[in-house]
Amino acid sequence: MNPIYQTIVLERKIPIPLYYQLKQFMIEHINNDSLKEGEMVPPEEELCNLLNVSRPTIRQAFSELAVEGYLDRIKAKGTFITKPKISGDFFQKIVSFNEEFRKKGMTPSTKVLEHSKVSPYTEVLTKLNLNKDDKTIYLERLRLADNKQIVYVKTYLPYTRFKNLLTTNLEDLSLYQVLNDQYHVSAKKVTRNISTTLPDDRTAEILDVEKQTPLLFVTTLAYDENLIPFEYSFAYYRSDRYSLQIDLYKDIP
């Protein structure tokens, strides 16, 4: 048992329910990493004895924590610490990774894994309206928020149009910001498709997940102001850390 549980103090003379005090204790120490993601929570009976509370008190606290994304209950294995998923709205807005996560109060960062000139395969050529002998810039990146892996993304851009990108430091600079500042290109329209997939060996290693972990797989095709495609990418999101939010509105006659 993590020693932090020994420090729990439940006040019985205040009008705050015991289960809620326990819940808030757990949230505070999950957020400050005293209780770490993936760590197993002690069994209910053990906590009942430690805290001198009933099992329904523990269950109510844990049920609400599970609903809010702080606990993961796995049948026949136990209950584990987790953290609420980051809710992303990039399906509704054209926004860069850096901008999205800064707005959430998080610190984005990037590791460039490959940055080269390549001969792309047919699907990429077709999406970018390129000829069979055309080259592209291939950019492979790991995107992080607060130093935690969020998405592994492979991006293709027409080489002839953006050749100077090969000498640009894209770990410290946002790709979309560079395209806007240096090439006066911004996304007017973006088409995204989402599905799920299992990672191959390389993707699992980069994102630090097990090979049987489902990932959100998103393809993006971005068009400039003249509706000319300029970016085609494949992104693998950790589904345990990122979820998509889509707001739908009904027209009122």
| 220-245 per-position pLDDT tens digit | 999 999 999 999 999 998 887 776 66
- Write down which residue in 42, 58, 81 finishes a domain: 81
Asked if residue 97 and residue 36 are part of one domain, the reply reads no
Could you tell me if residue 94 is inside a domain?
Answer: yes
Under a CB-based contact definition with an 8 Å cutoff, are residues 59 and 99 in contact? no
Chain segment 109-160, per-residue pLDDT in tens? 899 999 999 999 899 999 999 999 999 999 999 998 888 888 999 999 999 9
Tell me the pairing of strands 86-88 and 242-244: parallel
CATH number, position 42: 1.10.10.10
Instruction: Clarify whether residues 135 and 236 are in a common domain.
Output: yes
My answer on whether 155 and 45 are in the same domain is: no
State which residues form the domain around 149: 86-244
Per-residue pLDDT at 83 exceeds 80: no
In this structure, is residue 153 part of a structural domain? yes
pLDDT reading at 207 higher than 60: yes
Do residues 77 and 90 share a domain?
A: no
User: Measured on CA atoms in the order 145, 146, 152, 156, is the torsion positive or negative?
Assistant: positive
Q: Rounded to the nearest 5°, which phi and psi values hold at 166?
A: -65, -25
Domain boundary among 81, 99, 131: 81
User: Are 94 and 216 members of one domain?
Assistant: yes
Whether 55 and 136 share a structural domain: no
Among 66, 81, 96, the domain-final residue is 81
Query: Does residue 229 share a domain with residue 125?
Result: yes
Asked if 174 and 229 sit in the same domain, the reply is yes
Mean pLDDT for the chain?
85
Q: How many domains, the chain?
A: 2
Please indicate, yes or no, whether the overall pTM of this predicted structure exceeds 0.95.
Answer: no
For residues 37-52, give the mean pLDDT: 91
pLDDT score, position 92: 52
Tell whether 136 and 31 lie within a shared domain. no
Residue with tokens 């998080």: 106
Domain contains 251: no
b/e string for 199-225 if b means 16 or more Cβ within 10 A?
A: beeebbebbebeeeeebbbbebbbebe
Q: Which two tokens stand for residue 140?
A: 């492979």
Indicate if 102 and 219 belong to the same structural domain. yes
What CATH number is attached to the domain comprising 97? 3.40.1410.10
